[in-house]
A and B are shown apart, each in its own frame.
Chain A
Amino acid sequence: MIVSKSFRWSDRRARLALAALLLGGTTPAAADSSMLDTLQLHGFLSQALVITDRNDFFGPSSSGGGSLKFTEIGANASIRPHQDVLIAAQVLSRRAGGDGSDAKPVLDYGVVDYQMVSNQQRTLGAQVGRFKNPFGFYNQTRDVAFTRPSILLPQSIYFDRTRSLGLAGDGVSIYLEERLPQGILRTQVGAGKAQVGDDVERALGLEPFPGSLESQSSAIGQIRYEHDGGRIIAALSTASAEAEYSSSVAALDGGQFNFRPWILSLQYNAEKWSLTGEYAIRKLSLEGFDGFRNFNTTGESWYLQYSRRFLDDWQWFVRYDSLVSDRSDRSGRIFEAQTGRPAHSQYADDVTLGLQWTPVSRLLLAAEYHHIDGTGWLPTQDNPDPTETSRRWNMLLFQLSLRF
């Protein structure tokens, strides 16, 4: 449970110091007590055990007793120095199969949020700083187990390979919420600089070369309609992220990478069950890499999920999730003929069954089973040689999550 009350610290100085830190050096004397009452601290911790029969996912999951290298830890603080202003920041440490250095804490978001209009009809606001991208239903809080319907989000859409690209932008985002007679229409557009991590270079096969991808402009937009208090939710999201490769190898220098996804999201919520589906099209291109693999492909992903609550604090779900890397080569055979790498690396169909239990609101225990045909979203980091991967594989996950 999110209990701001539990942070009514007796040590007022500590609160003042933290408030001053959040406000970027404002003297504590300037922060009055009613503002300090708005200070909130929250956090989460998740640890998973991943067991696979073939292929490795988030660490050496196919050997020994499985992999424990899937850990997510986050902490955030927020304060309202003025009735129209919210300042919020979160630090995230995430390890997903890599070595311990991957868990180095990073600034997940850090925003000043100003609402210029807020009345019974509408809210208009802006976020400046590093803002989370509203992409599909889950991207903004994709690393927080309590906000996910399952241990792993549907990998066809929320895969890890190029996660840094869509995570957050450094810039400005503007949102408008209109209250209509039957529901709420929420629009958000943002522009800024995308983050391009090592994951993208790895996914593009640029890792062996001397050079690096530098992010350029990125833009994101989402329009979301919530009907009748959230009984029906529909959203359309799009983004554009660009990066330029700079390298000492002349043929590669100046290469352009471009990523343009669209996602259509739909959800129906009843008291005891929800039906969720998302469909995505991803345009991905590499240009200007002379003599290297320039390409221009359109990938396609979708999933359909039914989840059901029972006995107050239990929930089970079933999901079918499908990814195709290149719509013009769904079976991957052309890819295999051209590259010698397996056809099954170009798609993935995943049938998942899962269970979640929340015995107390600060604790979430989850387990799920995946039967997967294809390795389309299998992390290359864990499986460096694609020819040694298996087409059909099974995965069992257990996760314990805490929050405050």
Chain B
Amino acid sequence: MAWLRLGLLPPLLAALLALSWPSLAAADESPVLVAHPDVRTVRLTRDTTRAIFAMRQRTWPDGQAVRVHVLNNDDPVHGRFVKERLAVYPHQLQLAWDRMVFSGTGQAPTRVFSQAEMRERIANTPGALGYLEREYLDDRVQVISVE
């Protein structure tokens, strides 16, 4: 086919693949990253954020132990955070955790059951990291920006 010879196939494929992948542009209403107020890091790259939530990276950039908190896999807030902020899918993250937990290469995150519980835990656990929708923010937690 002529369009093949014109080299249109690679961009076409790329466009198709891009359509099937979560948008990297985080909408304003996406849950925001929050941490314990004493955490000294104020911003993380998306790759580091992803590595921390995948439980591959166990410390904050300054060396403090990071304590990751997540909502249930089927919680819509978890789904939005994972897709919009980390650009992965909840089932992929769960599989990554299972592979770490059952191979001796890492631990599972701490599961919380509501955003109110998330806020309490983040406010009271040194090194804690999690996410909240904006209406759940208060001054006991600090917002971490993602570059």
Contact = CB atoms under 8 A, between A and B. Distances in A.
A146 interface: yes
Q: Which of B61, B65, B102, B105 has the most CB of A within 10 A?
A: B102
A183 B87 CA distance: 12
Candidate in A74, A78, A80 with the most chain B CB atoms within 10 angstroms: A78
A1 B72 contact: yes
Interface stretch (B1-9, B31-39, B44-52, B134-142): B44-52
Interface residues of A, number: 50
Contacts of B95: 147
A132 interface: yes
A214 B20 CA distance: 51
B: interface residue count bin: 35 or more
A123 interface: yes
Interface stretch (A156-164, A227-235, A280-288, A392-400): A227-235
Nearest to B49: A120
B87 A127 contact: no
Contact of A123 (B56, B63, B112): B56
Given A228-B21, A270-B21, A5 B126 contact: no
Given A1-B73, A229-B87, A127 B51 contact: no
Interface of A: 1-5, 34, 38, 40, 42, 44, 74, 76, 78, 80, 83-84, 86, 88-90, 109-111, 113, 115, 118-120, 123, 127, 131-132, 140-141, 144, 146-147, 177, 179, 184, 228-231, 269-271, 309, 312, 361
23 contacts: A1-B72, A2-B111, A3-B108, A4-B108, A4-B110, A78-B107, A80-B65, A83-B65, A84-B59, A88-B107, A90-B104, A111-B104, A113-B105, A120-B44, A120-B48, A123-B56, A131-B104, A177-B51, A179-B47, A229-B50, A230-B88, A231-B21, A271-B89
Interface of B: 17, 20-22, 44-45, 47-48, 50-51, 56-59, 61, 63-65, 72-74, 86-89, 91-92, 94-99, 101-112, 126
